[in-house]
């Protein structure tokens, strides 16, 4: 009898533990769906061994870790290596200071996820990291005032943006450590890439040394250039061509744009089909309204006009897709996201994509609609959540095409002169107010630049586009609108509310509104 009771107790305990684990997972999923640890794994996997030690050994960093200073601000020029330095820091802290009583939490902001990366969602993602491995989270958890009541240390990286560097109170008077590409780190990185380069370099030690020294000299604090310069040597098969390329490496203030221009020239110089594929890849990634996975992009490229089902024989190999893009595209292995190598690549692409591939938006809309019309979807909606999840899993491009075809179509229509872009619905709302509420920054930009669109138009409740953007917590759109002279930041609606009051009521940060004079 005693043994039977022990068996029953063990069984009950196992059931209870399983239920606790399931409950814990449900809470974690509810807190945040963001997977920053996967991004961390992707970033740190790209680290060249022993790079970043100058940062970890700096007095500013060691003082911050020891608690002498609680905040460390690390600004840097575009392409300096801020993201990698943040990843190196996270990896270092996880190995040296993280314990059951000391947590390490982090976020990586992404220009493609501005709509979803609100203040509350980023805080929730950090909270999830801190509690997900703990057995109990029953006690209330507070995120505010942590720094004044605990040993919390905050480190932030940023470009030299006046709104951040000069305005944010927390950074005033705090220790600063500029992130720049360290010469020794660049040399280690280039040395680690030699195995990718042509045989004329691999067999010549003196030429290898010249490659390392010339790239270090040209980089001048911008680590991103090191990768682009290495890629520029991939097709140089003789010593003379290597030396000629090294002597003409981009340097100075226009180095990044020049390096991108040379990458585009290499793409143009490829075989016709490879060049066309590269342009299509860059266009899709550039125009995409959220990051695309490798599967989504490969399936999208397999869709042909008038198809009624996906032809598996049309699917590209992702390695081939990346290989034709001259180093401008990379894959995050953990998250399986295919992306441009840097946000500055997006900026450069924005300037050339219309000329380079003028039909891109039309092609994206056409692909999405063709996919949504496949025979497999003609049975209608799924009767259960489980079947819906199964449909998404079996049809990789379904989620993106269903969610975003309308956004691409709207952008395409807004760019046409024969479209009435300021048309109001029955509630007096315009395409601009809807785009502002949804956080479609690209559509908002296109609309406010049109002469036939009134940026401060009011609906039946006297709400403006700024009111809707503030209500929806769309900070990027709020910033875009308040910087315009034809938008009234403090206009009152029929209920006496203002954009600032609506943002506050919804619990959104309203930095752009509260700091406007």
Kindly state the percentage of the chain with pLDDT values over 70.
Answer: 86
pLDDT of res. 502: 81
pLDDT in tens, 153-191: 888 888 887 766 665 556 677 788 999 999 999 999 999
Regarding the domain with residue range 420-506, which homologous superfamily does it belong to in the CATH classification?
Ankyrin repeat-containing domain (1.25.40.20)
Distance CA 438, CA 120 (A): 17
Determine the 3-state secondary structure of 330 from DSSP.
strand
pLDDT of res. 459: 92
Average pLDDT across each block of 10 residues of the chain; the chain has 517 residues. List them in order: 53 55 66 85 92 95 88 91 95 92 90 76 86 58 52 84 64 83 95 95 96 94 92 94 93 84 93 95 95 97 93 95 94 91 90 87 92 89 88 94 87 75 83 85 85 90 91 87 88 88 72 51
Dihedral angle sign, alpha carbons of residues 419, 425, 429, 431: negative
Q: Return the residue matching tokens 């360290």.
A: 182
pLDDT in tens, 112-146: 777 677 788 888 888 888 887 665 554 444 444 55
Distance CA 106, CA 152 (A): 13
Taking residue 332's Cβ as centre, other Cβ atoms within 10 Å add up to 19
Determine the 3-state secondary structure of 348 from DSSP.
helix
Domain 272-391 belongs in CATH node 1.10.10: yes
Radius of gyration of the chain (CA): 26
Q: Which of 269, 271, 270, 227 is nearest to 249 (CA)?
A: 227
Q: Cβ(60)–Cβ(175) under 8 Å?
A: yes
Q: Cβ(293)–Cβ(397) under 8 Å?
A: no
pLDDT of res. 144: 41
Q: What are phi and psi of 155, to 5 degrees?
A: -125, 135
pLDDT of res. 333: 85
**Sheet of strand 329-332: strand arrangement:** 292-293, 337-340, 329-332
Taking residue 128's Cβ as centre, other Cβ atoms within 10 Å add up to 21
Report strand pairing: 329-332 vs 71-75: unpaired
Distance CA 394, CA 391 (A): 5
Q: What are phi and psi of 201, to 5 degrees?
A: -90, -45
Q: Where are the domains of the chain?
A: 32-137, 183-268, 272-391, 420-506
Distance CA 73, CA 53 (A): 18
């Amino acid at each position: 009898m005693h043994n039977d009771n022990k068996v029953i107790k063990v069984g009950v305990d196992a059931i209870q533990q399983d239920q606790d684990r399931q409950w814990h997972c449900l809470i974690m999923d509810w807190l945040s769906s963001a997977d920053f640890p996967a991004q961390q794994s992707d970033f740190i996997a790209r680290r060249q061994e022993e790079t970043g030690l100058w940062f970890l050994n700096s007095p500013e960093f060691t003082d911050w870790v020891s608690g002498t200073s609680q905040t460390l601000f690390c600004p840097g020029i575009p392409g300096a290596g801020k993201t990698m330095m943040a990843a190196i820091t996270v990896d270092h802290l996880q190995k040296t200071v993280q314990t059951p009583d000391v947590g390490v939490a982090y976020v990586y902001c992404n220009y493609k996820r501005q709509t979803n990366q609100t203040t509350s969602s980023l805080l929730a993602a950090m909270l999830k990291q801190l509690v997900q491995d703990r057995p109990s989270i029953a006690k209330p958890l507070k995120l505010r005032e942590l720094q004044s009541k605990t040993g919390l240390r905050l480190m932030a990286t940023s470009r030299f943006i006046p709104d951040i560097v000069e305005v944010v109170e927390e950074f005033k008077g705090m220790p600063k450590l500029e992130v720049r590409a360290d010469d020794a780190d660049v040399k280690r990185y280039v040395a680690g890439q030699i195995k990718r380069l042509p045989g004329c370099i691999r067999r010549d030690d003196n030429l290898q040394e010249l490659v390392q020294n010339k790239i270090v000299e040209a980089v001048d604090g911008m680590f991103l250039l090191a990768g682009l310069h290495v890629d520029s040597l991939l097709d140089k098969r003789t010593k003379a061509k290597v030396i000629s390329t090294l002597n003409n490496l981009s340097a100075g203030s226009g180095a990044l744009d020049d390096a991108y221009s040379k990458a585009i020239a290499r793409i143009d110089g490829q075989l016709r089909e490879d060049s066309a594929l590269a342009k299509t890849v860059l266009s899709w990634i550039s125009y995409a309204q959220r990051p695309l996975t490798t599967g989504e992009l490969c399936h999208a490229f397999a869709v042909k006009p008038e198809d009624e089902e996906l032809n598996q024989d049309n699917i590209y190999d992702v390695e081939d897709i990346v290989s034709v893009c001259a180093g401008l595209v990379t894959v995050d292995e953990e998250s399986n996201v295919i992306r441009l190598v840097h946000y500055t690549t997006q900026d450069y692409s924005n300037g050339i994509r219309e000329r380079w591939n003028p039909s891109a938006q039309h092609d994206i809309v056409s692909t999405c609609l063709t996919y949504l019309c496949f025979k497999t979807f003609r049975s209608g909606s799924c009767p259960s959540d489980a079947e819906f999840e199964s449909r998404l899993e079996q049809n990789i491009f379904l989620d993106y095409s269903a969610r975003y075809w309308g956004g691409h179509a709207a952008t395409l229509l807004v760019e046409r002169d024969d479209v009435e872009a300021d048309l109001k619905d029955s509630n007096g709302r315009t395409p601009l107010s809807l785009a502002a509420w949804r956080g479609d920054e690209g559509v908002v930009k296109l609309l406010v630049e049109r002469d036939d669109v009134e940026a401060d138009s009011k609906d039946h409740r006297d709400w403006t586009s700024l009111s809707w953007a503030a209500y929806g917590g769309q900070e990027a759109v709020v910033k875009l609108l308040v910087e315009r002279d034809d938008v009234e930041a403090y206009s009152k609606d029929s209920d006496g509310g203002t954009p600032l009051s609506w943002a506050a009521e919804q619990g959104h940060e309203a930095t752009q509104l509260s700091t406007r004079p």
